[in-house]
A and B are shown apart, each in its own frame.
Chain A
Amino acid sequence: MRHRDPLTDEQRDELDALDRAIAGEPVQFDRRELEELVLDVRATAPEMSPAFAARLDQEVREGFPTPQERPPVSVRRPWLSRPWMLLPAAGSLAAVLVALVVVFGGTGDNGLRDKSGNQLDTLGGEAAIPTDGGGPDVDSSGSGGASSSAGGVSADRKAAARAPSAASVPPSDPQAKPAPPSSTAIAPARTRRVERNAVLALRTPDADFERTTDAVIATVARFGGVVASSQIGASDAVGGEASFDLRIPTERLDTALAALSKLGHVTERSQSLQDITASFHSAQERLSDARAERRGLLRTLARATTQAQIDSIKAQLRSVSGRIAGANGELSSLRRRADLSRVDLTVRGGGRNGESGGAGGGDWTPGDAAGDALRVLEVLAGVALVSLAVLAPLALLGAAVALGVRGGRRRRRESALDPA
C-alpha cells in the first residue's frame, strides 16, 4: 500500500549514512557502527560460481541466442494472455461506432431527404389512398381573404395583394390544373379517409425574399391549392419573414411540396398523417339514420288525422332536419380535411446566398464550400464529443482494472515473502 510515512531527521541522517557507507564513502564517527554493519552484511553476500559467471558472460555476449521454450518478447502477443489490454481498443471502436450511429443513424430509413438533409415523410402508400374525388371545397367564410399581420412596413398591402381568396384562385399558370370540384355524394362505405398536414420552412437570401413569396403563391395556385391565410413581414434590418397557411389538394401534395421546396433552402420539412375514417363513417351513419327518420316522419305526417298529431310530427321533423344539417356540415368538414392537405409554410429572409435553393441559383459557390466545410467540422466535432463521452468512462474503468490487476499481481507475488 502506498502511504506517506515521514522520516524524522535522525532517520534521514542514518539513511544518508547508510547510502554513503554502501557507496564506500566515509561516514561520521557516530555512524561507524552502521558502516561496520554494511561491511559485515556485504561480506556475507553470496557470490557466483566461476562456472556460472562464465556461462552468463557468454550468453550475454551472444545475446541469448537460444531462447527458452517461449517465443521472444518481441513477437509475443501480450493481449492473448492479458485480454484486458484490449479494453481501450475495444472502447475506442465502440465509441466510434456509437458516434457514427448517432451522427448518421437518423438517415438510415427509407424516407426521402431534401437537399439540406431534412427528413421527408413520404407516408408510404398513403398518398394513393382513395378519396371521394372532392375538390377544394373550402369554406370561404373562414379563409376567404388574407389575414395580414403588422409585421412589416407594407405587410398589409402585400398580404392583401398576394393572398388570393379560396373562392377566387386564378390559375396563374396555364399548365395549372385546378382541382376537380368537390363531390357531395357520400363515398362508399369503408373508404379510408386520411388527413395530411405538412410543415415546410424555407430560408432565402434577402434579395430573393419577395420573389420567393410571390413564387409560393404562384406555385400553390398552379397545383390547385389556396392560400388560406398569410402573414408577410419585411424589414431591412432583420430580413423578411412570411408565413402561409396553405391548402393543397391531397392527391398533389407531394409534387406541390417538392416544387415549394425548390424555392429556397429548406430548413425544416415534415409531414403528419391522421386517419379520420372512423369520424367520417360515424357522421355518414348519423346522416343516413336522420334521413331515414325524416322519411318515416314524412310518411307518418301524410297519415296524420288530427292537428295535434300534425304539430307533433312537424316538431320532430324540425329536430331531425337540424341533425341532418349538422351531420352534413360535419361530413363536409371531414371531406375538406381529407381532400385538402394543410401546409404551414414559412419563408425567412437573411439566409446566405450560398444557402439559396432554386430561387437563388444552383451553382456551388465558395460560400457553399465554406458551409460544407463547416458542416464537416461540426460532424467531426460531434463524433469527437460522442467518442469522448463513451471513451472517458471506459478509460477510467480500464485504468481502474489495470491498477487492480497490477496491484493484485504484485500482492500475489509478494505473498511469497510471507512466512509459511
Chain B
Amino acid sequence: MATPSNTSTESFDSLYRECARDMYAYVRTLLGDDASAEDVTALAFERAYRRRATFDGRRGSERGWLFGIARNAALDELRRRKRSAPLLGELPDEAARAPEEEADLAIRRTTVRVALAALDPRDRELVALKFHGGLSNAELGVVLGTTESNAGTRVHRAVSKLREACHAPS
C-alpha cells in the first residue's frame, strides 16, 4: 500500500482536531472509565490513521467513518471486559465541579445524568453518538449499519425515553 500523502495526513489532522473531544466523550460514556476511554480513543485514532487511505467518501462522511471505528473498538473493549459499562458512574459531581452555577441548573444536570444512567445501554449509546458525537441521522445509519430512517427512529425513541426519565419523579 502506498504511503499516505501529505494531503491525507493534513486532512487527518484536521479530522482529529474536529472530532477528538467528541469521540472521547462518546467512548467515555460507553465505557465508563477514563483509562479505558483513553486507550480506546487512542487506538481508534491510530486505526483510523493507518486505514485512512481506505476511506471511501461515497459511503459516508469522515466523521461517521471515524466514529464507526471508535464504536467497534469500544464494543470490543466492552466484550473483552464482559460487562456493560455503567454510565457516568465515575464522573465527578457536576454541582461540586461548578459551584458557581446556580443550584437549579446543577440539580437539572444531575437529573440528566441519572436519567442517562438509567437508560438501556443501546439507547444510552445512541444518545452519546447523537449528543456528544454530533452525528447526523445519515452518519448514525452508517455507524450503526442501518438506514437513515431507522437511525432517526431509534434516536427519537431514545431521546423520548431520556425525556421521560428526566421528568419521572425521583
Contact = CB atoms under 8 A, between A and B. Distances in A.
Interface in B112-151: 112-113, 116, 120-122, 125, 127, 130-132, 134, 136-137, 145-147, 149-150
Contacts of A169: none
Interface of B: 1, 9, 12-13, 16, 20-22, 24-25, 28-29, 34, 37-38, 41-43, 45-47, 49-51, 53, 72, 75-76, 78-79, 82-84, 88, 91, 94, 108-109, 112-113, 116, 120-122, 125, 127, 130-132, 134, 136-137, 145-147, 149-150, 152-156, 159, 162-163, 166
Interface of A: 2-7, 11-12, 14-15, 18-19, 22-23, 33-34, 36-38, 40-49, 52-53, 55-56, 59-61, 63-64, 67-68, 72-75, 410, 412-420
Contacts of A36: 108
Contacts of B149: 4-7
A46 B46 contact: no
A272 to B, nearest CB: 62
Given A40-B108, A43-B94, 19 more contacts: A7-B149, A14-B159, A15-B137, A15-B155, A22-B131, A41-B127, A45-B25, A49-B34, A49-B38, A53-B20, A56-B42, A59-B45, A64-B46, A68-B46, A413-B79, A414-B122, A416-B76, A417-B78, A417-B121
Contacts of B132: 41-42, 45
Contacts of A42: 131-132
Contact of B150 (A4, A15, A74, A419): A4
A46 B28 contact: yes
Nearest to B79: A416
A419 B91 CA distance: 21
A5 B84 contact: no
A15 B152 contact: yes
B79 A44 contact: no
Nearest to A60: B16
A34 B121 CA distance: 21
B21 A48 contact: yes
Contacts of B83: 420
Given A410-B145, A417-B121, A417-B125, A44 B113 contact: yes
B37 A418 contact: no
Nearest to B29: A46
Closest 10 CB pairs of A and B: A416-B78, A46-B28, A5-B153, A74-B1, A45-B25, A413-B75, A417-B121, A40-B112, A416-B79, A73-B50
Contact of B51 (A6, A59, A63, A73): A73
Contacts of A56: 20, 41-42, 45
A63 B9 contact: yes
A63 B49 contact: yes
8 contacts: A7-B153, A22-B131, A37-B112, A44-B88, A44-B116, A68-B46, A413-B72, A420-B82
A418 B122 CA distance: 7
A108 B145 CA distance: 52
A40 B29 CA distance: 15
A53 B116 CA distance: 26
